[in-house]
Amino acid sequence: MSEQTQNQAPVPQAGRHVVIVGAGMAGVQTAVALREQGFTGAVTLIGAEPHQPYDRPPLSKAVLLGKAEGSAFDVDFEALDITLELGREVTGVRPAEHTLDTATGPARYDVLVLATGAEPIRLPGTEDIPGVHLLRTLDDAERLRPVLAAQRDIVVVGAGWIGAEFATAAREAGCAVTVVEAAERPLAGALPEEVAAPMAAWYADAGAELRTHARVEHVEPGAVLLDDGTRVPAGAVVVGIGARPATGWLTGSGITLGAHREVVADDRLRTSEPDVYAVGDCSSFPSGRYGERLMVHHWDNALQGPRTVAANIIGESPATYDPVPYFWSEQFGRFVQYAGHHAAADTTVWRGDPQGASWSVCWLRESRLVGVLAVGRPRDLAQGRKLIESGVPLDPQVISDPTRPLKAAVG
Ligand SMILES: Cc1cc2nc3c(=O)[nH]c(=O)nc-3n(C[C@H](O)[C@H](O)[C@H](O)COP(=O)(O)OP(=O)(O)OC[C@H]3O[C@@H](n4cnc5c(N)ncnc54)[C@H](O)[C@@H]3O)c2cc1C
């Protein structure tokens, strides 16, 4: 991305002030990585939420069920000399002046890191209806805990990753659960039909009703009305229809945003403006490995990207970012993991019976592994991830034999 700004002139780091906006996984990890990599300048982490920075994956799992009180990161910010400014929303940025605008006045930076994550998409018209919930923040999870504890009848809108995880927790809590999904199957945007189809049965096995081809027409207190006229009683409604980058505050800043309103970063995670980086759910980057721009809304990306940002801020050993994306999901008693990135044209090779408890799917491009989905087969995932990284040609015959380790497919 030659048009991206190349302002990497070494400046004595002790005099520099790095300000990170967004105190979620990517923001916290950037601050920590700066210190781990020896940055001696000032580091300030500004977050809109009032809570001590916390991890999101437990929100749809242990926190929701009350098995964990919270999920605060185990980071000693004081010992690392990281200044935390919580409960402070940043409302704008003026890159030419190296200045942020916030609810409590302007703030200067030498280097800025954008890590504002994503915000859940709301179901239009439901904003003010009582009993309609989202699941993104600790506050959301805390609002939902008593709903589960009271074993209310719940309608989940959207059979994606969050919808499936929430439905799992709600069933475990003893709630009656109906999941309404506009597409013809779960995870329609994420996985091909033949792979997602076996997952539909998981809902029924767990005692949740999955209604596909079902569009929400209207939500009213106590019920969800579908476009086929069905009225589904709902003690609570949980909307899980996706998330979009939290970048509204960048409008007018001159920082380039992409088609999904994400911050467009280059392969060193620099934005279009000097001294401004972007990382995590709020951004996209060009993947050299996959030959396309990726916007990854998963935890591992918010863990790995910050190391690249920190290295490039310090500037002694500049780094490019070209990960094999990875994520996991815990749903209906199954551990689902995915590594890589595949396209419709890639060759699908099954390992095991998708009706069974554990199976995997591999995607090959010119005999090389580009993606692997593992259900209850963590070893396939671990080996597959390495095989994707190495890019060695594989024997599809061996891959299709689930009794043999995936790594045995190396020719
Ligand atoms: C319920 C749930 C479960 C998940 N489970 C999994 C899982 O099992 N596996 C997996 O791989 N991924 C999972 N994810 C995704 C993963 O948590 C995210 O990819 C990760 O949190 C992204 O980190 P981030 O720091 O980029 O963004 P976020 O975690 O969204 O953090 C961004 C922070 O920036 C703050 N902010 C936003 N705007 C401003 C502003 N203008 N000023 C100041 N602060 C601002 C926000 O308040 C937020 O705290 C889950 C996500 C959720 C919501």
Average pLDDT for 315-343: 96
pLDDT at 14: 74
End-to-end CA distance of the chain: 36
Strand partners, 339: 326, 372
Q: Which residue's alpha carbon is at the smallest distance from atom 30 of ligand 1?
A: 117
pLDDT of 6 strictly over 70: no
Name the closest-CA residue to atom 27, ligand 1. 117
pLDDT confidence of 32, banded at 50, 70, 90? very high
Give the mean pLDDT of the chain. Answer: 95
Mean pLDDT of 371-386: 98
pTM metric for this prediction: 0.95
Residue 126 has pLDDT above 90, yes or no: yes
Tell whether ligand 1 has an atom less than 6 A from the beta carbon of residue 327: yes
76-115: pLDDT as tens digits: 999 999 999 999 999 999 999 999 999 899 999 999 999 9
Q: Indicate whether residue 136 lines ligand 1 (CB < 6 A).
A: yes
Percent of the chain's residues with pLDDT above 90: 93
**pLDDT for position 4:** 44
CA 162 to centroid of ligand 1, rounded, Å: 13
pLDDT confidence bin for 411, thresholds 50/70/90? confident
- Cβ of residue 30 lying under 6 Å from some atom of ligand 1: no
- Residue % of the chain over a pLDDT of 70: 97
Q: How far is the CA of 136 from the centre of ligand 1 (A)?
A: 7
pLDDT band at 12 (very low <50, low <70, confident <90, very high): low
CA of 87 to the centre of ligand 1 (A): 16
Average of per-residue pLDDT across 173-187: 96
pLDDT > 80? residue 125: yes
Best mutation site among 20, 25, 249 for ligand 1, i.e. most ligand atoms within 8 A of its Cβ?
25
Q: How much is the pLDDT for 306?
A: 98
**pLDDT by residue (tens digit) across 39-59?**
999 999 999 999 999 999 999
The answer, yes or no, to whether any atom of ligand 1 lies below 6 A from the CB of 21, is yes
Q: Is the CB of 270 under 6 A from ligand 1?
A: no
- Mean pLDDT over 349-353 rounds to 96
**Per-residue pLDDT tens digits for 330-343:** 999 999 999 999 99
Q: Would you say the CB of residue 25 lies under 6 angstroms from ligand 1? A: yes
Mean pLDDT, residues 355-363 taken together:
95
Residue 210: beta bridge partners?
A: 179
pLDDT at residue 9 is higher than 70: no
Q: Determine the Cα–Cα distance for residues 145 and 143; give it in Å rounded to an integer.
A: 6
Give residue 190's identity as a one-letter amino acid code.
A
| Residue with CA nearest ligand 1 atom 9 | 328
Domains of the chain: 17-119+243-314 (3.50.50.60), 122-239 (3.50.50.60), 333-409 (3.30.390.30)
